[in-house]
Chain A
Amino acid sequence: MQNQNEKDPIIENLWHALGALKEIDAGQVNKTQLLGQPLCYGKDANDVAFVWPASERHKTHTPVNFEALNRCLPVQVRYGYVWTCLGTPSEEIFDIPEYVEPDRRNLNAASMGVHVSAPRAIENFLDMGHFPYVHTDILGVEPHTEVKDYDVTVSADACEILATRCLFYQPMASQASAGGADVEYVYRVPHPYCSILYKSSPLDAARQDVICIFIQPLDQEHIRAHMLLSVLDVDNPDISIRAFQQTIFGQDKPILENQFPKRLPLDPRVETPIRADKSAITYRRWLRQKGITYGVIPAAA
């Protein structure tokens, strides 16, 4: 059970993704963890998903009779993933309207474990400054290191952060790129542990590729990062679209795991930001105002 000291009612009442529905073998037990609590999940032959508290009786990859489970947690399937909530769901899962566009390729790039807190992972996802150094020759290259000024706003209902007009020179913005280009990014943060990135499509100047990161907090300092791709790409097979994103994430992993402290400090005096960190500053302030305590070091009162 979750340690009482670690309870964060806001986070507990939100939906969190546990895994891609397609990757679950029907009729079997899968084990994972959410907010420190061991869970089992699975799906039946009709793709109906189930999530329930782990018990000794249920062993990984053994058959399970879902009808015989006595207590299941709330469950939804959205964007190809199984989502659950440990408390009472306080809001709907955010909308990604592009997901249902008929010509989009939707796939899970990977679900990967990282030794870091969920907010650190989101903050890294929002950062463009590291592109030339960590994703050299792909998402950035020297001397094109400048993060040009961009706009960050919080929606009127305080539900979502939006960063727009983010421009960056990228040698190879996606698997479908033919060469270097100035790429425009838009970031949404509609959930403390989820972010959605829109970037110019190399194939259609009027539309954008969508890359989402849904962070499943295993505990305060360990996560599973689920990466949804919803892209316009008619040529490349799933495997190379996936491989591109896994390469990017594999490069981020050691950076994330070497962050110290692992939890995100919310006290504005703790880390010194620069202008390029505008979205990170907004994100930290937004978490602080929401009263998030899980995966962060709260500001002194």
Chain B
Amino acid sequence: MSALWVAIVAVTLASAAIKAAGPVLVGGRELPPQVNAVIALLAPALLAALVVTETFGEDGHLVLDERALGVGVVAVALALRAPVLLAVALAALVTALARLFG
């Protein structure tokens, strides 16, 4: 088997196992309140971390580029109570324009 197929099979199995772990180990049972308190904070923590890495992360560096402008547009649009899809579409548009003229 070539290196590529080894990678494909291994990544598939590992990825499936990672996704299955939480549901199998945690699912269905009543958890202590401390654990629930931690789980409840996973969503805001994960979302915030994803925003930072996908806006400013680039090959192991922090960079300030057109993506930050687009994400800034979303922040302003949401502060003005724009619908989510409109805000996200505006972000893509502004980012594309900034790259075109930047």
Q: Do A and B bind each other?
A: no
